[in-house]
Amino acid sequence: MSAIEARGIEVVLGGNQVLRGVDLAVEPGELVALVGPNGAGKSTLLSVLSGDVAATAGSVDLDGRPLASYSARAAARQRAVQLQHQGLAFGFRVHDVVMMGRSPWYRTPRSADDEDVVADAMRRTDVGHMAERSFPTLSGGEQARTSFARALAQQTPVLLLDEPTAAMDIRHQEAVLEVARTLAREGVAVVVVLHDLSLAAAYADRICVLSSGTVRAEGPPAEVLTSSLLTDVYQHPVEVLVHDGYPVVVPVRRRSPENPVGGPVVEEALR
């Protein structure tokens, strides 16, 4: 049984069709990356999976039950969500923000572990040294790591991440996705929206390529990330190289007096 499964998802927002007949099933222990150009429907699909956006048509099952049948607290014990944009308006301390991830377990036996779980989540996301800092004073990357720690502290079998590495430096991008990869190895079903295709290739079991609200391709990174498909989807020529066994996606750039980078191979690809 899939940890989370979407079938025939259609979403119309403001009169615009954002998703069209999207199917996606994620198994326990699997990390699936959603990729695609701006406006492809990645974040909307993640919001449908989380229950934050209602599908116009189609259905989502969480742990074999319709997502709509869960109460808010019951759903929060099954899936944790890290949003792309953080909505905290008050000056909560970093420790307090991460502790918010424990709220679904309030007044349950698991609440006895709150402090230990929060400390571990902060350690894994490298925010422990910022525990007393006010959340609004953090950089974008520090806020994203704090929000990731909050999702980890929730300790759910499904983890939904919307561009968790967008504001991070290379070291923390790798660290965050390594934690997500470790959670998948431990049995968590992870869905992550990523713009960096090379990161997606390095850490995902499967990649789902979205374009104009539809699934253009889905499968292992080496099968899905091809130059022809990505050039078509992103409307920009790319090369896909292999480094250390992983696909690396490189944009093709035209050589010019202003930009001397390039060469015959690049120019041929642009013809």
Residue 88 has pLDDT above 70, yes or no: no
- In three-state secondary structure terms, 133 is coil
**160 & 150 share domain:** no
Could you tell me if residue 84 is inside a domain?
no
Query: Which pLDDT score is estimated for 266?
Result: 46
Could you tell me if residue 192 is inside a domain?
yes
For the segment 45-74, the average pLDDT, to the nearest whole number, is 97
Specify burial of residue 48 (Cβ count, 10 A radius: 0-12, 13-18, 19+).
buried
Domain boundary among 154, 176, 196: 154
Buried b (16+ CB within 10 A) or exposed e, 6-23: beebbbeeeeeebbbebe
**8 & 115 share domain:** no
For residue range 138-178, list pLDDT tens digits in order. Answer: 999 999 999 999 999 999 999 999 999 988 999 999 999 99
Q: Are 183 and 195 in contact (CB under 8 A)?
A: no
Could you tell me if residue 83 is inside a domain?
no
Could you tell me if residue 187 is inside a domain?
yes
Pairing mode, strands 31-35 and 189-193 = parallel
Domain boundary among 154, 181, 198: 154
Domain boundary among 129, 154, 179: 154
Could you tell me if residue 246 is inside a domain?
yes
For the segment 65-77, the average pLDDT, to the nearest whole number, is 96
For residue range 204-251, list pLDDT tens digits in order. Answer: 999 999 999 999 999 999 999 999 999 999 999 999 999 988 999 999
**54 & 161 share domain:** yes
For the segment 66-91, the average pLDDT, to the nearest whole number, is 88
- The CATH number of the domain where 191 resides is what? 3.40.50.300
Q: Which bin fits 161, alpha (ψ -120 to 50), beta or left (φ > 0)? A: beta
Domain hosting 230: range is 4-78+156-270
- In three-state secondary structure terms, 1 is coil
Band of residue 189 on the pLDDT scale cut at 50, 70, 90: very high
**How many CA atoms within 13 Å lie on the side-chain side of 77?**
10
**37 & 143 share domain:** no
DSSP string, 189-213: EEEEE-S-HHHHHHH-SEEEEEETT
**189 & 244 share domain:** yes
Query: Which pLDDT score is estimated for 270?
Result: 44
**235 & 104 share domain:** no
Query: Which pLDDT score is estimated for 258?
Result: 66
Cα–Cα–Cα angle for 130, 202, 255, rounded to 5 degrees: 100
Residue 35 has pLDDT above 80, yes or no: yes
In whole angstroms, what is the distance from residue 33 CA to residue 207 CA?
5
Query: Tokens 């998703």 appear where?
Result: 19
SS3 content of the chain, % helix, strand, coil (to 5): 40, 25, 35
Contacts of residue 109, Cβ cutoff 8 Å, sequence gap at least 6: none
**131 & 264 share domain:** no
Could you tell me if residue 221 is inside a domain?
yes
How large is the angle between the packed helices 140-153 and 114-124, nearest 10 degrees? Answer: 140
**135 & 160 share domain:** no
Cα separations in angstroms, 217 against 130, 251, 270: 41, 20, 24
**100 & 168 share domain:** no
Total domains in the chain come to 2
Could you tell me if residue 86 is inside a domain?
no
For the segment 108-135, the average pLDDT, to the nearest whole number, is 96
**263 & 162 share domain:** yes
**238 & 138 share domain:** no
Could you tell me if residue 85 is inside a domain?
no
Of 164, 139, 140, the C-alpha closest to 152 is: 164
Query: Which pLDDT score is estimated for 91?
Result: 83
**180 & 264 share domain:** yes
For the segment 86-107, the average pLDDT, to the nearest whole number, is 89
Band of residue 85 on the pLDDT scale cut at 50, 70, 90: confident
